[in-house]
C-alpha cells in the first residue's frame, strides 16, 4: 500500500519539477492515441453506417466480423504491422518501423472495429421506422442518414470514447512497432513496463498516475461534447 | 451537429500539429548530420534496465549527430533481428549463439566490449545450502532436493547460460520445482523473490533491483559464470539496407578510451561497485576463458 501512496507523491513531484522528459512522453502518448482515434473515426464511422443502412445477404457475416474485431488482441496487430513495416517487409521502403507513425497505424487498426461496431449498434438502436418515416416525408437518403447520425449522437460519441480508451491503454502493439525508444517512441504505457523492469516501482506508479490523469482529461472533454456542451443529465 | 464538426476539427488539428512538431524536431541537430542518421541497436534488456545505455547513448549522439533506436529484447530475439537484417548493431551476451550468427554471414566484426558475471541468488534461509559452493555443486544440490527454481525461459543470454549450466551436469530440470517465467530479468527476480525460489541473474540487474528484493547472492566468482558482451555489425554485404557507417561509428565509440571509461565507471557512485568491466581490445583468453 505504501508503494501506491509513494507513487502519487512522486507523480506530483515529477509534474511539479517540470521534468520535461515525462511531459514529452505524456504529450507523445496523447498525440499518438488521438491521431489513431481520429483515423479510426474517419474510417470506422462510415463503415458502421454503411453496415447499418445496407441490407444484403451476408450482412450478419460482416457484423460478426466487426464484433469479433472489437476484441482484436493488440499483440497480434503489433506483430502483423511489424511484419509489414520491417525493412525487408512489403512496406519496408517507407521506413516507418520504430516511429510514432507506425504506432498510430497499429493503434488505428485496433480502434477501428470498436468505433465501427459501436456506431453500427448505435444506429440499430434507433427504430428502423424512423428512417422510413424520414424517407417517406421526402428526405433524401443522405439527409435521412444525417438525421439518424444526429439522433444517435450519444452512442457515436461513446464509440469514439471507447476507441480512445482502448488505444491509450494499449501496450503490446506500441512496444512492438514503436520499440519504446527514449525521446522518440516512448509512451506512458511502455515507459511503465520499462520502469517495472528496472525495479523502479514508485516511478512506474507515478507514470501510471500521469497516464490516468491524461486519459481522464481527454475523456472528460469527449463526454462534455457527447452531451452537446450541457452538463450530464 | 456543430459539436460533432468541432470535435472532428479538434482531432484533425491535433494530428496536424503532431506532424508539424515531429518535423521541427527532426531539424535540430547541431553536428553535421550523417547521410543516414538512424541506427537500430538490437540489444539485451540488461544494458537498458541497468541504465548503462542512458549514459552511453547521449554522449555518442551529441558527438556524431547519429540517432540510436534501441530495441531492448532478449539476446535470442536481438540475434534473430540481426539474422533478418532488421537491425544495424547487435550488443549481446551469448557467445556460442553469436558465433553461429557470424558463421552464417549475418554479422561481421564481432568484438569484445565488456563483461560482468552471473550469480545464483536465492532466499536468505537457503534450504539447499548452496552458499559458497561452486556452480556445479550448487545446481546439483538444487536438483537433489528439488528446490524451487525460476528460469527466464525466454531464450535470452541469461537463459542460454542457465541451460548450458544444467547441460554441463547432465540434469534436465523439470516441472513442478523448475518453473519457466518467460519474462525479463527484473521480473524474473521479482517472481523468485515472491516464491522464495532460486534463480540465475546477471549481476547488473540484480544490483539495480536489490532494493526490492530479499534474495541474497549465494554463488559467485566461478569462472563458468562469466557474462561476456560482444558487439557486432550486421553484415552490409548481405543486407544492403543496413546502416553500416552508423554501426561502425558506434562500435568505434564503444571501444574508444572515452566509451570504455564510461562503461568502467558506470554504477560506482550508485552501487559502490562497477556493474560492468570494460574489455575493449581484449580477447576472450585475456579474461580467463
Q: For domain B117-225, which architecture applies?
A: 3-Layer(aba) Sandwich (3.40)
- The segments of chain A whose pLDDT lies below 50 read 233
Name the pairing type of β-strands B277-278 and B198-202. Answer: unpaired
ipTM for the predicted complex comes to 0.77
Q: Which CATH superfamily is domain B38-115+228-284 in?
A: Periplasmic binding protein-like II (3.40.190.10)
Instruction: Report the DSSP beta bridge partners of residue B192.
Output: none
Q: For domain A2-226, which architecture applies?
A: Orthogonal Bundle (1.10)
Q: Before A217, cis peptide (omega within 30)?
A: no
Residue B115: name the closest of B19, B7, B250, B223 by CA. B223
**H/E run at residue A128:** helix A128-136
Please report residues of B whose CB lies closer than 8 A to that of A150: 1
A96 → chain B, closest CA residue: B38
CA distance B256 to A71: 50
Kindly report which listed range (A68-82, A101-115, B7-21, B180-194) carries the lowest average pLDDT score: B7-21
The pLDDT of residue B164:
94
Domain ranges of chain A: 2-226
Instruction: Report the DSSP beta bridge partners of residue B277.
Output: B115
The pLDDT of residue B1:
45
The pLDDT of residue A20:
75
Please report residues of A whose CB lies closer than 8 A to that of B189: 199
Tell me, yes or no, if A227 comes closer than 8 A to chain B by beta carbon.
no
Question: What are the tens digits of pLDDT across the range B149-176?
Answer: 999 998 889 999 999 999 999 999 988 9
Q: Name the band, by pLDDT with cuts 50, 70 and 90, for residue B289.
A: low
The residue-averaged pLDDT of B56-72 equals: 94
* Distance between A126 CA and the closest CA of chain B, angstroms: 18
CA distance B240 to A171: 32
CA distance A86 to A93: 9
B13 → chain A, closest CA residue: A35
Name the pairing type of β-strands B107-122 and B178-180. Answer: unpaired
Domain with CATH 3.40.190.10 in chain B: 38-115+228-284, 117-225
CA distance B70 to B89: 10
Name the pairing type of β-strands B89-92 and B149-151. Answer: unpaired
pLDDT at residue B16 above 50?
no
Amino acid at each position: 500500500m505504501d508503494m501506491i501512496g509513494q507513487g502519487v507523491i512522486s507523480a506530483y513531484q515529477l509534474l511539479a519539477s517540470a521534468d520535461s522528459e515525462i511531459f514529452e512522453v505524456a504529450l507523445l502518448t496523447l498525440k499518438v492515441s488521438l491521431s489513431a482515434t481520429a483515423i479510426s473515426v474517419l474510417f470506422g464511422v462510415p463503415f458502421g453506417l454503411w453496415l447499418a443502412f445496407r441490407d444484403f445477404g451476408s450482412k450478419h457475416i460482416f457484423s460478426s466480423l466487426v464484433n469479433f474485431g472489437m476484441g482484436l488482441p493488440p499483440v497480434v496487430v503489433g506483430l502483423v504491422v511489424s511484419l509489414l513495416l520491417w525493412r525487408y517487409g512489403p512496406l519496408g521502403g517507407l521506413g516507418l518501423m520504430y516511429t510514432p507513425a507506425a504506432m498510430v497505424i497499429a493503434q488505428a487498426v485496433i480502434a477501428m472495429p470498436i468505433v465501427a461496431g459501436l456506431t453500427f449498434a448505435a444506429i440499430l438502436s434507433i427504430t428502423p421506422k424512423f428512417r422510413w418515416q424520414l424517407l417517406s416525408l421526402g428526405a433524401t437518403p443522405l439527409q435521412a442518414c444525417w438525421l439518424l447520425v444526429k439522433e444517435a449522437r450519444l452512442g457515436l460519441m461513446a464509440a469514439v470514447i471507447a476507441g480512445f480508451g482502448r488505444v491509450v491503454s494499449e501496450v503490446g502493439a506500441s512496444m512492438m512497432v514503436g520499440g519504446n525508444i527514449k525521446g522518440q517512441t516512448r509512451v506512458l504505457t511502455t515507459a511503465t513496463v520499462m520502469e517495472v523492469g528496472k525495479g523502479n516501482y514508485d516511478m512506474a506508479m507515478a507514470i501510471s498516475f500521469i497516464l490516468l490523469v491524461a486519459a481522464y482529461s481527454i475523456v472528460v472533454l469527449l463526454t462534455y461534447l457527447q452531451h452537446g456542451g450541457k452538463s450530464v443529465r | 451537429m456543430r459539436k460533432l464538426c468541432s470535435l472532428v476539427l479538434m482531432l484533425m488539428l491535433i494530428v496536424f500539429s503532431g506532424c508539424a512538431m515531429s518535423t521541427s524536431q527532426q531539424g535540430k541537430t547541431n553536428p553535421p548530420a550523417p547521410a543516414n542518421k538512424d541506427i537500430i541497436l538490437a540489444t539485451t534488456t540488461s544494458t537498458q534496465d541497468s541504465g548503462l545505455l542512458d549514459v552511453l547513448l547521449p554522449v555518442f549522439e551529441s558527438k556524431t549527430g547519429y540517432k540510436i533506436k534501441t530495441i531492448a529484447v532478449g539476446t535470442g530475439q536481438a540475434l534473430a533481428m540481426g539474422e533478418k537484417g532488421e537491425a544495424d548493431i547487435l550488443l549481446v551476451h551469448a557467445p556460442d549463439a553469436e558465433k553461429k550468427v557470424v558463421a552464417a554471414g549475418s554479422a561481421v566484426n564481432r568484438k569484445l566490449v565488456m563483461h560482468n558475471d552471473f550469480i545464483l541468488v536465492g532466499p536468505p534461509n537457503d534450504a539447499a545450502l548452496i552458499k559458497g559452493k561452486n556452480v556445479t555443486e550448487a545446481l546439483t544440490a538444487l536438483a537433489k532436493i528439488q528446490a524451487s527454481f525460476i528460469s527466464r525461459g525466454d531464450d535470452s543470454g541469461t537463459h542460454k547460460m542457465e541451460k548450458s549450466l544444467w547441460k554441463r551436469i547432465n540434469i534436465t530440470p523439470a516441472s513442478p520445482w523448475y518453473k519457466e517465467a518467460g519474462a525479463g530479468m527484473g521480473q524474473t527476480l521479482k517472481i523468485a523473490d515472491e516464491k522464495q525460489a532460486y534463480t540465475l541473474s546477471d549481476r547488473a540487474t540484480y544490483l539495480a533491483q536489490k532494493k526490492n528484493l530479499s534474495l541474497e547472492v549465494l554463488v559467485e566468482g566461478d569462472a563458468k559464470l562469466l557474462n561476456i558482451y560482444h558487439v557486432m555489425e550486421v553484415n552490409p554485404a548481405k543486407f544492403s539496407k543496413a546502416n553500416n557507417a552508423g554501426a561502425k561509428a558506434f562500435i568505434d565509440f564503444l571501444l574508444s578510451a572515452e566509451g570504455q571509461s564510461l562503461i568502467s565507471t558506470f554504477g560506482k557512485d550508485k552501487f559502490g561497485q562497477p556493474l560492468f568491466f570494460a574489455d575493449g581490445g581484449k580477447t576472450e583468453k585475456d579474461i580467463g576463458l
